[in-house]
Structure 1
Amino acid sequence: MTKQGLGSNSVDQHVVLRVLRFLLKSAALPETSTDQQRWLLVSEQGGTIACDKLVLEALKCSAFIKMQSGKVVLSVVGREFLQELKRAANSVYKDVAVNSAGIAVNHAESPLALLYRKNKQTGQRFLSDEEFQAGERLRADFTRGNMLPRITANWEAGVTKRSRGEQGAQAELSDHALDCRDRVEKALKAVGPELSGVLLDICCFLKGLELVERERSWPARSAKMMLKTGLSILHRHYTAGRKTDKSEAPVYHWGTPDFRPSL
């Protein structure tokens, strides 16, 4: 079995990785078990695991493991293979982070995050911190509000029976999701119809700038400026919602004109 042969049907890939990672800790002594088709690998550091003879034979033929002083040892080829898997996993998840709203965001696929990164030539950012966070907040509310279109068939809708007059999917949404939808609606209304579509396409649907320009028949590099303008207005909308001066709020009370005691 070679590195390319790990996905073969004869040997389970997950079992292979389990054995390799077990041997990565230390060498293991093979012992027979009650099952003639299985071996026990006994390690001083990792404990004991059961393994099919077929898996061990395949690993040995592919030079992932070898016998040394009566013990099963992970070979150099096996160690390099595990390191290769680790590097591949890191390359997939290195751009995944949790934003300030608690939503996992893959910055490798986010056009907004690409614009937010510093320009290597000038060392400056096209988007400010406030504009980037405003776009992330809109995306978080959009995601939590379950506003992304369904891309798979909804089999439940065909078999679920509802009585006449019963509400549909809107009733199934949680209060939190409804609040998120309400915030998205207010934010887009504050931005206006001229720029709200650009924010939805780039921040929420993750469309690239060039794609937005082609769909809207805009000139090259115009979506970039429209996005920045929309994010600036969106940031002012979110900031205005937080600035509530309680000292200017009117004070209401109940009582007759002579309710205060006289001194």
Structure 2
Amino acid sequence: MNISVEQDPRSGAPSKRRAKPATDLPPEAARLLTRLGEPCAYARPDPLAEGSLIVRRGGDGISVGSGRFAAASGRALAAADLAEWDAAGTRLTISTAGRSRLRRQAAGGEAAFAAQHRDLVVEQEDRTAEPVLRNAAENPLAWMVRRRGRDGVPLIDAACFEAGERLRRDMTAAALLPRMGSEFGATRVDGGGPRDPASAADHVIAARQRVRGALDAVGGDLSGLLIDLCGFLKGLERIEVERRWPARSAKVVARIALGRLAEHYGLEREATGPERARLRLWRG
């Protein structure tokens, strides 16, 4: 059994602590973990059946049932740090370790432990670009929209997440960020390339105008943060270190900046009436 060495919190002297054994989950607990891994899924105690949990999934006011499990399965996941309860103890959600375990299971074989640090998604910067495979685990916006506070609410809502993603796509299309991998639309050695270079240049100019308009709307005091966060995908801790900000302050400023950006794009969490209803989360 592995032994880890830590400092005693009272005396500061090294102390030995037995590491948690990596035991297999009971079958029902494993199924519950899979259900909690679905988008916006959570479990709560069943008010009609003591000792049971009801799993719900969905968001933005839409909730769909996803099964009933024994409360012991939830306790098993929480004890293994694969799920966590909110401060009120009424909502059980999957933890970061739980998602890593699901990714290991999905990958299997030699790639299992590498997959736990990846969250691969297919993205398309615009309608004319080639789809790109990205690791969402490296995107701080994806981390913020999945990370929940003590109240069970994500650090940023879907509107703020989409606003940050739209700015990143425009910055990439405007050639303001370094491209990772091959650029299939660029001129090739054989003289090939985009069929209409002029239209390609217009596309870049239009993207730069959208970026400039968005940053001007947010304000110069917050635009630099959005460039680092959405464009260069710098984490919150790194931003705090580089800017010499207090710990956990970047999270608050990022919320304000993304909120202003969402207002600029006209993104809202919910419509406020037929005359003001907007198309939400439209990918242009």
Q: TM-score, structure 1 length as denominator?
A: 0.47
- If each structure's helix is expressed as a fraction of its own residues, which one has the higher value? 1
Larger Rg: 1
